[in-house]
Amino acid sequence: MPRFKTTLKTLAAVAVASFAATVSNAALTADDIQTLDGKSGIRVYSADGDFVGVTNGLRLSGERARLFLLPRSGSIFRLRGRDVIITTKTDLMTRRGNDLVLDADSLRLRIKAQNPASDQDGALTILLLT
């Protein structure tokens, strides 16, 4: 019986991960870009469903997007105590209801946050251009 429960949990985790990957493969449409540009208070999630932060500003121009995030309770960056600035392409983000989903999992976001562009005094800078 314990082996059956373990197998069932594993299958459920795989189903959730594949759903998150399927959701994050679409790009923002022109209507989404027009609706979201300059907005604050939008929740941002990673591709695997982890909460990244809430936008304090959002700049969408052409194919580039710049998200200014405040890490809140439950955020993967809340222990760092600094704001997060993510620069990415609009085709690497998806709108899901009133939320944004980045086409990068939480591990990739954490690794990118440790790059040399992140200085100790300012905001964490994350570049997701590929």
> Which pLDDT belongs to residue 68?
92
Instruction: Give a yes or no: residue 4 inside a domain.
Output: no
- What is the count of structural domains for the chain? 1
**CATH code of residue 76:** 2.30.30
Instruction: Give a yes or no: residue 2 inside a domain.
Output: no
> Which pLDDT belongs to residue 23?
45
User: Domain range holding 37?
Assistant: 30-128
Instruction: Give a yes or no: residue 10 inside a domain.
Output: no
The arrangement of strands across the sheet holding 84-89 comes to 93-96, 99-102, 43-45, 51-61, 64-70, 84-89, 124-128
Instruction: Give a yes or no: residue 76 inside a domain.
Output: yes
Alpha helices per DSSP H over the chain: 2-23, 30-36, 106-113
Tokens representing residue 105 in the block: 């999992």
> Which pLDDT belongs to residue 60?
85
* 130 residues of the chain, pLDDT tens digit each: 567 667 666 655 555 555 444 444 557 778 888 888 878 899 999 999 999 999 998 888 888 999 999 888 888 887 666 788 999 998 899 989 889 999 999 999 988 886 555 456 677 888 998 7
Instruction: Give a yes or no: residue 24 inside a domain.
Output: no
Within its chain, how far is the Cα of 59 from the centroid?
A: 15
Instruction: Give a yes or no: residue 20 inside a domain.
Output: no
Instruction: Give a yes or no: residue 119 inside a domain.
Output: yes
> Which pLDDT belongs to residue 61?
84
> Which pLDDT belongs to residue 51?
93
Instruction: Give a yes or no: residue 81 inside a domain.
Output: yes
> Which pLDDT belongs to residue 20?
46
